[in-house]
Chains A and B, each alone.
Chain A
Amino acid sequence: MKSVKVVVAGGFGTGKTTLVSAVSEIAPLTTEEVLTQASVGVDDLAGVKDKTTTTVAVDFGRITVNEDIVLYMFGTPGQDRFWFMWDELARGAIGAIVLVDTRRLDSSFAAIDYFERRRIPFVVASNMFFGERLYSEDEIRGALRLNPATPLVWCDARERDSSKQALIRLIRHTMSQLPTQAPSGR
């Protein structure tokens, strides 16, 4: 049984969970990590109420590829400061979709930077709220200082087909980043 991970990242309110629900075969699930000041996660407590705890929520969905492979899509927590959680989500991921809202491009800078530094393949998906395209591809690329090799796609995260195309673009991009292998036999 094989698991494959895709990370759906982007700033707060860019439509991560919307995109996950558009393509997931199950209603997105939410799982939580509970943090205390002194520890990360393991120190949660059924019953102890006096500690300062913070809850980080992660939404995710799944697509069963076949009886042997399941693809999971994990949305990053809305707050950028939970980087340890990003590390957990990104570990072993085949790639990421970074959603951007053109009205607030700066909210997705951190995500782009994160995947660039770790050399995790990603595509940038410009979420068209209400179907609007306020800027051209060049303008967005320029504003985000995107590497020319990083794909930029338009999507409407509410639409299954549109979100699916963003995922397909990511898979193709990831495949193109693999070290070239002999086409047959391994």
Chain B
Amino acid sequence: MSRDAWYGDDDGGSGRFVPLYVLVNGRTRTRNAGLDLATQVVALGANPQALEAEYQAVVRRCRTWTSVAEIAAHLRYPLTATKLFVDVLLEQGFLAVGSPAEETSTDLEVLEKILVRLQEL
């Protein structure tokens, strides 16, 4: 298991002063190539307690399927940082990932289901 999360003690008591690039260990782009803002992820049940607070918060947000954008909005994290957190958590087995938007964009069956749903709205 790679240690992408930082386990160091940094809590000064009055807020955190950890730049996000430290929390993602300098990672600047996701390794999971399909990950986009709409991709949904879900917690797999592993206890995240040993992780940094930001990572724990992400895992807790994912008790049910949740998109990267929703996680970012609810936790008020910048989008790119959220994507990187999710990427690390996927790699470490805390989260599972659904199909990225790219895989569904040309799926006629999916489009037909959307159409039916929209007509019911």
Contacts and interface: CB of A to CB of B under 8 A. Distances in A.
Partners in one complex: yes
Interface residues of B, number: 51
A3 B118 contact: no
Given A4-B110, A46-B20, A88-B37, A164 B121 contact: yes
Given A3-B40, A4-B110, A29-B74, A92 B105 contact: yes
A47 interface: yes
B4 interface: no
Contacts, number: 165
Contacts of B91: none
Interface string A22-60: 010000011111100001111111111000000000101
B54 to A, nearest CB: 9
Pairs of residues from A and B, 3 with the lowest C-beta to C-beta distance, nearest first: A41-B80, A1-B98, A92-B101
26 contacts: A2-B98, A2-B104, A2-B107, A3-B104, A4-B38, A23-B121, A31-B73, A42-B81, A43-B19, A43-B21, A44-B20, A44-B78, A48-B19, A60-B69, A62-B67, A66-B113, A69-B110, A71-B114, A91-B36, A92-B103, A92-B105, A160-B121, A168-B118, A171-B115, A175-B112, A175-B115
